[in-house]
């Protein structure tokens, strides 16, 4: 059965440990912080076992978007509420492709274009078979 409550903040867990080290009982700590006795006990037990109050990292698939990317998508939807997810994906892909395209030096594209006639002629001569290009 899974818990329906939220995870305690690390600062609250540290407060529990500090109060326990000062000699307070689980019940008194729970009353002071408005937390159940069982939660206080489990935090202290976990601290004794691991030596830390940090939350464990979760298993599972990592997030697809960074916080920045998520914020950018939300802003796009706020500007145009009728935009669809595929349209956002197309726009982002187009933007990324253009960024990469502009990174290609002009000398490279000029070289490719200048050799295009030779490449086409080689394919024609080879009747569609493999060529040196």
**Model confidence over 32-87: pLDDT tens digits?**
999 999 999 999 999 999 898 888 887 888 888 889 989 999 999 999 999 999 99
Task: Report whether pLDDT(1) > 50.
Answer: no
* Rounded Cα distance, 82 and 105, in Å: 38
Dihedral of the alpha carbons of 70, 74, 75, 77, in degrees to the nearest 10: 140
Picking from 5, 20, 24, 14, the residue whose alpha carbon sits closest to that of residue 52 is: 14
**Model confidence over 86-118: pLDDT tens digits?**
999 999 999 999 999 999 999 998 988 888 888
* Rounded Cα distance, 113 and 115, in Å: 5
Task: Report whether pLDDT(132) > 80.
Answer: no
Task: Report whether pLDDT(3) > 70.
Answer: no
Task: Report whether pLDDT(2) > 70.
Answer: no
* Rounded Cα distance, 113 and 22, in Å: 78
Task: Note whether 45 and 37 are within 8 A (CB).
Answer: no
Task: Tell me what the pLDDT averaged over the chain comes to.
Answer: 89
Question: Residue 4: what pLDDT?
Answer: 65
* Rounded Cα distance, 126 and 2, in Å: 67
Picking from 72, 65, 105, 71, the residue whose alpha carbon sits closest to that of residue 91 is: 72
Tokens of 128: 């569609």
């Amino acid at each position: 059965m899974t818990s329906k409550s939220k995870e305690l903040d690390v600062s609250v867990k540290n407060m529990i440990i500090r109060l326990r080290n000062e000699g307070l009982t689980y019940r008194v700590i729970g009353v002071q912080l408005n937390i159940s006795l069982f939660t206080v006990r489990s935090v202290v037990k976990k601290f004794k076992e691991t030596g830390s109050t940090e939350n464990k990292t979760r298993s599972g698939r990592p997030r697809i978007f960074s916080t920045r990317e998520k914020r950018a998508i939300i802003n796009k939807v706020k500007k145009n509420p009728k935009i669809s997810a595929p349209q956002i994906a197309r726009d982002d892909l187009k933007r990324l492709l253009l960024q990469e395209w502009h990174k290609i030096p002009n000398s490279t594209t000029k070289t490719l274009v200048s050799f295009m006639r030779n490449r086409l002629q080689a394919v024609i001569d080879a009747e569609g078979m493999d060529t040196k290009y």
